[in-house]
Structure 1
Amino acid sequence: MEKTNYRVALDKGWEDLKLKDPANIADVMQVTYLSNKQQFIVPLFNEKFIADCSQQAIYNAADGVVPGIGARMLILHYLTFFESRQEPVRKWVSLKEIPGGGMLFYPAFYKDSIRGLIKAFGHQSALLLECARQIGGQPASFGTASAVFQVFPKIPLGVIIWEGDEEVPANATILFDPSIEHFLHIESVIGVGSYLANKLIKLAVTNSGVDMVPSNNKVNKL
């Protein structure tokens, strides 16, 4: 059963959506709105999800599967948080550089998400590219291995792995376009980074057959 606080947040997301102009949402956030069905079509990685306003339901457009509550919240926040038209600036920053609490929340983000990426890919960085490919990620030229992901139409994320050896510890990071502060509040900025990390870690487990998910990983609600 979904926790009450997540349920309350989800209900608030639907209420916030009612206050927005659907045509403006579609235009600014680069999603499709079907006015006859009261549905948004929202790309998330290499899939598309339906946000049905009349039924207050979100499900995969291809198979009808309802995603986890974390993913549903991210979709609603993407549709509702923005206040004005902004565009990605095509630069990369760490969470620590995102206004509104990025520096404050970074230690927990590192513990819950970055550390899992290091464990999964820090000694087999080529696996990152294989896992990235499966969710639409494109190879990049940073670190030992890296990839860029189009999470939502206006939210790219980057993942970098520096492979470790006997002398140098492995490391990893998740990078954000600075414009993300205009599209999501800081909790959802963290959520979207954790969502990506969790997807990659799960794919690493599937592709390698080794359990690499930290026991304290807290993003499985997504």
Structure 2
Amino acid sequence: MDFPYEKDNKERIPLEHYLSEYRNIDPKEAAERCGVEYDEEKQQFHIRLMGFRYLVDFPEFAVHKEDENEEGAFLLLDMVPAKIIVLRFLISAQVVKSSGKYLTYREVPWGEVYFRQFEGRCLMRLKFGFGFKLDKFAEGMEKIPGVKKLSLGDVSYEFEFINGLHVRFILWAGDEEFPPSSQILFEDNFPYAYQAEDLAVVGDISISTLKALAA
């Protein structure tokens, strides 16, 4: 299954589809299934995306900052692919406890089939965007709430993409002789929440947030 996340109508059509499905969910069941807080009185989900906190209205999908004074990269307010990935999360994801293991994209179900697309869309973008600018990479990553610095590669970090699902970005620096390289690892509970095609969008949103914070 391929979800069109491109521009204009190719974003609008899937967004309208998921908005329709969202209105029909049981919010209390979704909150329990996804491990998120739902305020029945205010009819709002509490969602964290890239560490930034949002309130998401139900049944109309309106998004607000949880703290209007908080600064950061709040891509969910305006970015259509971010809205779709959160809608899909609330509609059908199941968040289970991770064993602590992390998976490469090839290791997730159907990851081998879609690897070339993921490589071009995420791994290449990450390594050529930051492989010669590790200081900018670190600067951006350190602004993600709850981020954890790791000792993998030349520089690496772990962060929560969405409630209960974590990602690792790893970079090896490039020089005059060798190009940079990158790896993106997904916590082993991701396949219960998202399909392989979704993980390219996860990578896209994560890198876009990083670029905004490092600017």
Using the size of structure 1 for normalisation, the TM-score is 0.81
Match for residue 61 of structure 2 among 50, 56, 60: 56
1:114 paired to 2:114 = no
Say whether the 8 Å CA contact 2:23–2:60 is kept in structure 1. Answer: no
Q: CA deviation at 1:28?
A: 3.0
Q: In the aligned structure 2, how far is the partner of 1:162 from the partner of 1:149?
A: 18
Is there any run of 5+ residues in structure 2 with no aligned partner, and where?
1-6
Matches within 5 A, 1:181-200: 181-200=191-210
1:79 paired to 2:90 = yes
1:155 paired to 2:165 = yes
Give the corresponding residue for 2:152.
142
Give the corresponding residue for 1:123.
132
Say whether the 8 Å CA contact 1:122–1:161 is kept in structure 2. Answer: yes
Q: In the aligned structure 2, how far is the partner of 1:62 from the partner of 1:93?
A: 33
Is there any run of 5+ residues in structure 1 with no aligned partner, and where?
207-222
Instruction: Kindly report structure 1 stretches of 4+ aligned residues shifted beyond 4 Å.
Output: none
Amino acid at match of 1:57: A
Q: In the aligned structure 1, how far is the partner of 2:116 from the partner of 2:212?
A: 22
Give the corresponding residue for 1:209.
none
Q: In the aligned structure 2, how far is the partner of 1:41 from the partner of 1:110?
A: 32
Give the corresponding residue for 2:35.
30
Matches within 5 A, 1:94-109: 94-99=104-109, 101-109=110-118
Match for residue 91 of structure 1 among 82, 95, 101: 101
Q: In the aligned structure 2, how far is the partner of 1:170 from the partner of 1:5?
A: 33
Say whether the 8 Å CA contact 1:43–1:49 is kept in structure 2. Answer: yes
Q: CA deviation at 1:188?
A: 1.8
Q: CA deviation at 1:12?
A: 2.5
Deviations along 1:108-156, whole A, 9 cap, x unmatched?
A: 2222222222123212323322210112222111000000011112210
Q: CA deviation at 1:42?
A: 0.7
> Residue 48 and residue 85 in structure 1: after superposition, are their counterparts in 2 closer, same or farther (change >3 A)?
closer
Give the corresponding residue for 1:219.
none
3-state SS of 1:176 partner: strand
Q: In the aligned structure 1, how far is the partner of 2:67 from the partner of 2:179?
A: 41
Q: In the aligned structure 2, how far is the partner of 1:166 from the partner of 1:5?
A: 40
Match for residue 68 of structure 1 among 79, 91, 94: 79
3-state SS of 2:56 partner: strand
Give the corresponding residue for 1:178.
188
> Residue 45 and residue 62 in structure 1: after superposition, are their counterparts in 2 closer, same or farther (change >3 A)?
same
Q: CA deviation at 1:53?
A: 1.6
1:165 paired to 2:175 = yes
Q: Provide the aligned length of Structure 1 versus Structure 2.
A: 202
Q: In the aligned structure 1, how far is the partner of 2:170 from the partner of 2:112?
A: 19
Across the aligned residues of Structure 1 and Structure 2, the Cα RMSD in angstroms comes to: 2.2
Say whether the 8 Å CA contact 2:102–2:187 is kept in structure 1. Answer: yes
Query: Quick one: percent identity of the two aligned structures?
Result: 23
